[in-house]
Amino acid sequence: MSIRPILIHPDPRLKKLCQPIESVSTDIGKLAEDMLETMYDAPGVGLAAPQVGVLKRLFVMDCVKEEGESPRPMALINPEIIATSDEVNTYEEGCLSIPEHYAEVTRPKRVTLRWLGLDGKTHEEEFDGLWATCAQHELDHLNGKLFIDHLGTIKRSMITRKMQKLKRDKARG
């Protein structure tokens, strides 16, 4: 396993529609393991393949937050939302590709997802609370959408300008 560098917004690769994965190969297994390690190291609760520069439909997440509860590392291949609740939830979201910026985003409170697991089988499960928000945020990444795209234009461009500056400062060293 190895930690992969995380792309920082703005980056054209974060705006692309990602392609479905045709088979659960050992390369995909390795990618998922690297992504989980990268996510835990960051630390974060979710990470999508485009954030490590791979334009494929895969994300990982683990929203277990309680101390003492065992982790639940999940890898979802070709995930689809098959149902959403009418009830909504507002969370202050962040993103490993947009460090140190947070904003409230309102999304359906519960979502049912269908995906292909690393075991090659189709899974279906309903997620609630932080898990549901995280799953929707990560799925957005696979469609080239960031959480700031849910915000108003002014807030979005303000964050983008700050990120551009951060990248310039970093490049300068």
Q: Could you tell me which residues are annotated as the binding site for Fe cation?
A: 95, 137, 141
Listed in sequence order, the residues at least 6 apart from 172 whose beta carbon sits closer than 8 Å to its beta carbon are none
Instruction: Give the nearest distance from C-beta 172 to Ni ion in angstroms.
Output: 26
Strand segments, DSSP code E, in the chain are: 46-48, 58-61, 74-84, 88-95, 98-108, 110-116, 122-128
Query: Is cis: bond before 5, omega within 30 of 0?
Result: no
| 127/6 Cα distance (integer angstroms) | 26
Give, for 138, the enclosing helix (H) or strand (E).
helix 129-142
Residue closer to Ni ion, measured from CB, 18 or 70: 18
Instruction: Give the closest residue to 100 by CA, choosing from 40, 171, 34, 44.
Output: 44
Residue nearest to Ni ion (CB): 95
Residue 125 annotated to the active site: no
Residue closer to Ni ion, measured from CB, 24 or 150: 150
- Active-site option among 37, 67, 80, 138: 138
Residue closer to Ni ion, measured from CB, 28 or 135: 135
Q: Which residues sit opposite 74 in a β-bridge?
A: 61
Binding mask 87-106 for Ni ion (x = CB under 5 A): --------x-----------
Cβ–Cβ contacts within 10 Å for residue 41, how many? 11
Instruction: Give the nearest distance from C-beta 76 to Ni ion in angstroms.
Output: 14
Binding mask 44-83 for Ni ion (x = CB under 5 A): ----------------------------------------
Instruction: Give the nearest distance from C-beta 96 to Ni ion in angstroms.
Output: 6
Residue closer to Ni ion, measured from CB, 9 or 21: 9
Q: What residue ranges bind Ni ion (CB under 5 A)?
A: 95
The residues annotated as belonging to the active site are 138
